[in-house]
């Protein structure tokens, strides 16, 4: 559906060229929710703007639905952009227009008849949950409602791709979740390909199928969201995952615990899917001569299923601890020994 090949974007500056996107190669499948995450300056905003050609690549090609969009100009490009919707962090609504008029605006530009515009706007108002607010102005709407208008407007021309540029960064957590649920519904009901950039791992975790981690203009890690959660390779990816799983500072605190309570074994367990819901600790206590202390634990839902981590302290005879850890591994639970004294 979307293919970037050796894409590079340079910006000229007094101090020399700035490399915003550096030799990016990635393919995004039809109907996929693809996340791009990185800190400020990573190049993710430049990358998403290359997809609708608000920015032209310095080199490389961008292909969408079989069309090399990076090589077209003029009317052909304007028509191609109608197949690519975009929603923004700060909504970018027309403040002098009502909800209905904002949603209809792309249809006016495309030359759609008034009758067809009204019909399409009504469909979109219902889709995004804004019934009864059609005649309100942006100043009369909450942040979440404004973003729903932005989403409806982006869908007006029945695009094949929806680009989300930090679409939830200006919203509170509860509203963020409601907007993410709406995007998930749109993806499932319309089969729409969604590319979403963010600096929040919660957003990736909630709805994305795959994620690309960007740093200094490069994609440094790419994969299925659940796999990236389970086995982050790069330091930057580990920091994002730790922020979400609550594991920041874990290593230091566990070292302090081990010094205060010497003996036994501290292990980290990783659960995926239904395994995250099994009463593993209860089984350990009932079947093995070990004492079990829970030091830390959390379950995080992802688009591919639940992902859970649990750090426990096992105390008992070495033979019993070995039996317990063998049992854990036989339950298809990943086990990492952190300390063993």
- Burial 84-105, CB ≥16 within 10 A → b, else e: bbbbbbebebeeeebbbbbbbb
Q: What is the per-residue pLDDT for 44?
A: 94
Q: What is the per-residue pLDDT for 214?
A: 97
Helix 173-190 × helix 143-155 angle, to 10°: 20
Q: What is the per-residue pLDDT for 295?
A: 86
User: Count of CB atoms within 10 A of residue 201's CB?
Assistant: 24
Q: What is the per-residue pLDDT for 244?
A: 72
Q: What is the per-residue pLDDT for 86?
A: 94
The continuous run of DSSP H or E covering 231 comes out as none
Q: Which of 300, 301, 327 is nearest to 312 (CA)?
A: 327
According to DSSP, residue 138 is labeled G
Q: What is the per-residue pLDDT for 258?
A: 65
Could you give the 3-state DSSP secondary structure of residue 37? strand
pTM for this entry: 0.85
Q: What is the per-residue pLDDT for 269?
A: 87
Q: What is the per-residue pLDDT for 274?
A: 67
Distance between CA 231 and CA 206 in Å, rounded?
A: 18
Q: What is the per-residue pLDDT for 35?
A: 97
* Residue 50: HSE in the Cβ half-sphere, 13 Å Cα cutoff: 33
Q: Which residues pair with 219 in a beta bridge?
A: 214
Q: What is the per-residue pLDDT for 207?
A: 93
Mean pLDDT by 10 residues, the chain (341 residues): 95 89 96 95 94 93 91 87 90 95 94 94 96 96 96 95 92 93 94 94 92 96 90 91 66 66 81 72 90 84 77 91 91 83 65
Distance between CA 7 and CA 257 in Å, rounded?
A: 48
The strands making up 59-64's β-sheet, listed across from edge to edge, are: 18-28, 2-11, 59-64, 67-68
Distance between CA 228 and CA 282 in Å, rounded?
A: 29
Q: What is the per-residue pLDDT for 277?
A: 64
Secondary structure (DSSP) of 263-286: SSEEEEEEEEGGGGGS-HHHHHHH
User: What structural domains and CATH numbers belong to the chain?
Assistant: 2-244 (3.40.50.300), 248-340 (3.30.70.260)
Element counts in the chain: helices (H) and strands (E):
12, 14
Say if CB 89 and CB 167 are below 8 A apart.
Answer: yes
Phi, psi angle pair for 54, to nearest 5°: -70, -20
């Amino acid at each position: 559906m979307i293919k970037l090949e050796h894409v590079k974007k340079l910006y000229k500056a007094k101090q020399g060229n700035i490399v915003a996107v550096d030799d990016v190669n990635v393919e995004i499948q039809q109907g996929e929710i693809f996340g791009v995450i990185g800190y400020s300056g990573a190049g993710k905003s430049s990358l998403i703007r290359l997809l609708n050609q608000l920015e032209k690549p310095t080199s490389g090609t961008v292909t969408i639905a079989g069309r090399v969009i990076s090589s077209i100009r003029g009317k052909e490009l304007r028509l191609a952009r109608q197949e690519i919707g975009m929603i923004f962090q700060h909504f970018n609504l027309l403040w002098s227009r009502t909800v209905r008029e904002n949603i209809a605006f792309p249809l006016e530009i495309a030359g759609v008849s008034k009758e067809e515009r009204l019909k399409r706007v009504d469909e979109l108002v219902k889709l995004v949950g804004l019934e009864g607010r059609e005649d309100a102005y942006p100043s009369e709407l909450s942040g979440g409602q404004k973003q729903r208008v932005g989403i409806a407007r982006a869908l007006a021309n029945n695009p094949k791709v929806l680009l989300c540029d930090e679409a939830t960064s200006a919203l509170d957590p509860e509203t963020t979740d409601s907007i993410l649920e709406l995007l998930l519904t749109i993806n499932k009901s319309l089969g729409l390909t969604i590319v979403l950039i963010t600096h929040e791992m919660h957003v990736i975790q909630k709805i994305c199928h795959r994620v690309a981690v960007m740093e200094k203009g490069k994609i440094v890690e790419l994969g299925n969201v659940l796999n990236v959660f389970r086995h982050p390779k790069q330091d930057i990816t580990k920091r994002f995952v730790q922020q979400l799983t609550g594991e920041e500072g874990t290593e230091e605190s566990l070292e302090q615990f081990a010094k205060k309570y010497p003996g036994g074994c501290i292990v980290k367990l990783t659960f995926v899917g239904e395994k995250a819901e099994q009463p593993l600790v209860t089984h350990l206590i009932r079947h093995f001569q070990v004492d079990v202390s829970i030091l830390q634990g959390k379950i995080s839902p992802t688009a591919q299923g639940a992902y859970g981590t649990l750090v426990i302290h096992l105390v008992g005879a070495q033979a019993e601890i070995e039996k317990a850890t063998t049992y854990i591994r036989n339950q298809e639970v990943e086990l990492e020994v952190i300390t063993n004294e």
